[in-house]
Amino acid sequence: MSRLIKRSARRSASALRWSSIVAALTLISSLIVITAPTSPATGFTGADFNPGMIISDSEFYNGSAMSESDIQVFLDSKIGACQNGLCLNVLRQDTYSIPQDRTICSEYVGASNELVSRIIYKVQAACKISAKVLLVTLQKEMGLITSKAPSQWSLNHAMGYACPDTAPCNSDKAGFFNQLYSAAWQFKRYSTPTPWGNFQPGIRAIAYSPNSSCGSSQVNILNNATAALYNYTPYQPNAAALANLSGTGDSCSSYGNRNFWVFYTSWFSSQGSQAIDQAYQQSGSETGVLGTIVSSDFCPQSATTCSAKYEGGSIYWRQGIGAKLVLNPIDQLFRSMAPSMIWPTGDPVQESAAPGGQSQRFQGANAYTSELGTYAVYGGIRTEFDRTGGPAGTLGWPTAGDECGLVGGGCLQRFQNGVIYYSSLGTFSLSSSANTAYEAVLGPRGVLGYPIAQAIESTSNGSGTIYKFQSGNIFESAAGSFPVYGSMLSLYNSRGGVQSNLGWPVSDRVCTPIDGCIQQFQFGSLQIDAISEFASPRQVSLGPAIGPRTEEPAAPGGASLKYKNATVYTFALGTFAVYGVFRTEYDRLGGPAGALGWPTASDQCGLTGGGCTQTFQNGTMFYSPATGTSTVFNPLLSEYLNGGGINGPLGYPTAQMACDATSCSQQFEHGVITQATTK
């Protein structure tokens, strides 16, 4: 047999210990066989070894990690029937009292004829070093945890304490109890308020072997526990040692810290690691849908979540939920959005009623993948999508992620056959046809507002669907989808709606100076004077009419009437007045036929600094006494509003937008927005 390696630093004399989990090694005249798990727990490989974090502080310095009975049960399970009476599950020893030593270890009260399990338990409590750490060290040093016939020599040097590479072991430190207590004391001393040893947390050069020609590399030691292990064994495993976790590497390999990690992970891995391993095996292991492992979390007993990543996806475990497979590309989506999706609660589902795609439930969302892409569906939108039947229902597969930041804090998400809208009023879906009509009148920021109810099916006059909104309805039939709102809707409903002799709408409203606004239905038409209806309750603020009604030839389908103080515009988007300085600026820009298009809302005043604002199809006007009147056009407008608008860091605009061949920019009170122009 050849002696493999190797001993390591101990106390102040740079003493070294034996450490190997290889098939065999020779110690003086005693042959000790230390066997590693022949197949380390599935879910970790040498690639998962982190030289900067071999074990966490919380695990290493846990003074109550195992009870005395837990330790005894563990020893019995590893050793079984002892062949010589010296095995750790049956060995008894007399111990002596040791007083409290500064802040390192508290008092150990000696006793006669103590079982090893009790000694380990009492040392754990005195020095606040986990019994799991002590058990692993006993194994990696002398193989005592699995030995059925240990020698007295191996017991005398159980923890490899005070056994330098270049000299015999120190006889003063011999004896099982001496070894156990001294090693625990030493581990704890390394992390006392005044750190002791050659290694502390931070970037340090760690050698691969006692042979200096084997070299070293810089390791960022992340915690006290890992520093303690390097002070105890000042070598890190090289690639060859990590490539063969249950055997030997090459002539430059060392094994002590590798073996500590392998035994600790294999013996004391958490419920999560075990569940992930089982799920991986059930999936077909390397030949299954996941393929070979890429990386995994270190999952201690205290972990409530952990995961392992594979070529084809991941397995995620959460306490109370269990282990769930998440396959690519849903796994890639989850890893990019995990905080909002939270954790998988279901397994992947092949949608048989909507072939060609897969879905999976998470705590915070559902995920869907199809030829149209991979998207998450959240909250109220998820609830509504489930109600409609999911991918096999009326909406089909999602085609985009959610879009939030709509007026009033709303959101929407697009699907193959429609759109779902969320607002404080609820979550409701529209068909593609209804949504096209809705967006034509500017969606939530237009005359209709948000949806407020589930769609209503009607079989009257050929059948169709009615979608209700805050300020109107959209009627969908074989003729198409058309909005009806305001006085037109009141008049229509007074006649009986779709059940009347008018039937379903077959066109949008069209407004002219002479005829007012007219909308066609299956069996007739309705006409309203939208301008008069709008102006009547506002006559005082508008003043007298000063001109004829005018049709906008460059923006057909609408009309306007000028009053002393404002101009009233009516169009499919609604009827609104433009007053004062806004009217002056709007006229300068060409009115409805100009760059701004039709107004989409009334003005709002009483804002910050005494300001006012009014929205149009293609931009928004802003006014304040300090800055005058300026217009912010799309797409600069979106960036401005996302930054808080007039209440954000930029304040009010102070100049009109200016563009050159490469970009457009606009000056504000406290800054500038510049955006490259698209070619």
Determine the pLDDT at residue 1.
20
Percent of the chain with pLDDT over 90: 65
pTM: 0.60
Q: What is the dihedral of CA 69, 74, 79, 81, to 10 degrees?
A: 40
Comparing C-alpha atoms, which of 308, 300, 299, 351 is closest to residue 331?
308
User: Residue 64 in 3-state DSSP?
Assistant: coil
Confidence check: pLDDT of 340 > 70: yes
Phi, psi of 492, deg, nearest 5 = -60, -45
If you average pLDDT over every residue of the chain, what do you get?
87
- pLDDT per position as a tens digit, 547-581: 888 887 767 778 899 999 999 999 888 899 999 99
Determine the pLDDT at residue 3.
25
- Of 141-150, 426-435, 491-500, 656-665, minimum mean pLDDT range: 656-665
Mean pLDDT throughout 294-312?
78
Confidence check: pLDDT of 316 > 50: yes
* Structural contact between residues 19 and 136, judged by C-beta atoms closer than 8 angstroms: no
Q: What is d(CA 395, CA 337) in angstroms, rounded to the nearest whole number?
A: 24
More confident: 28 or 668: 668
Contacts of 230 (CB under 8 A, 6+ apart): 198, 199, 204, 206, 221, 236, 257
The neighbouring-strand residues paired with 458 are 464
Determine the pLDDT at residue 37.
52
Question: In which band, very low, low, confident or very high, does the pLDDT at 27 lie, cut at 50, 70 and 90?
Answer: very low
User: Residue 480 in 3-state DSSP?
Assistant: strand
Q: What is d(CA 227, CA 511) in angstroms, rounded to the nearest whole number?
A: 81
Mean pLDDT throughout 359-383?
96
Determine the pLDDT at residue 650.
94
Confidence check: pLDDT of 30 > 70: no
Comparing C-alpha atoms, which of 274, 278, 280, 279 is closest to residue 293?
280
- pLDDT per position as a tens digit, 102-159: 789 999 999 999 999 999 999 999 999 999 999 999 999 999 999 999 999 999 999 9
- pLDDT per position as a tens digit, 592-621: 999 999 999 899 999 999 999 999 999 999
Determine the pLDDT at residue 36.
52
CB under 8 A, 24+ apart: contacts of 301-308:
301/59, 301/65, 301/268, 301/269, 301/270, 301/271, 302/58, 302/59, 302/270, 303/270, 303/272, 304/272, 305/272, 305/343, 306/270, 306/272, 306/273, 306/276, 307/276, 308/43, 308/44, 308/276, 308/280
Burial class of residue 625 in the structure, from the number of CB atoms within 10 Å of its CB (0-12 exposed, 13-18 middle, 19+ buried): exposed
Determine the pLDDT at residue 355.
79
Confidence check: pLDDT of 33 > 80: no
| Numbers of helices and strands, H then E, in the chain | 18, 36
Q: Find the helix packing angle between 68-79 and 131-142, rounded to 10°.
A: 30
Determine the pLDDT at residue 8.
39
Determine the pLDDT at residue 545.
92
- Alpha helices, DSSP H, located in 4-130: 57-60, 68-79, 116-127
Determine the pLDDT at residue 7.
36
Percent of the chain with pLDDT over 70: 90
Using alpha carbons, list the distances in angstroms from residue 82 to 112, 150, 334, 557, 670: 22, 9, 51, 98, 82
Q: What is d(CA 588, CA 19) in angstroms, rounded to the nearest whole number?
A: 87
Q: What is d(CA 578, CA 589) in angstroms, rounded to the nearest whole number?
A: 13
- pLDDT per position as a tens digit, 274-294: 688 778 878 987 789 998 878
Q: What is d(CA 361, CA 337) in angstroms, rounded to the nearest whole number?
A: 14
Determine the pLDDT at residue 274.
67
User: Residue 35 in 3-state DSSP?
Assistant: coil
Q: Which helix (H) or strand (E) holds 257?
A: helix 256-268
59, two tokens: 């695990």
138, two tokens: 């006993």
Confidence check: pLDDT of 17 > 60: no
Using alpha carbons, list the distances in angstroms from residue 301 to 269, 304, 306, 657: 6, 8, 11, 61
What type of residue sits at position 263? F
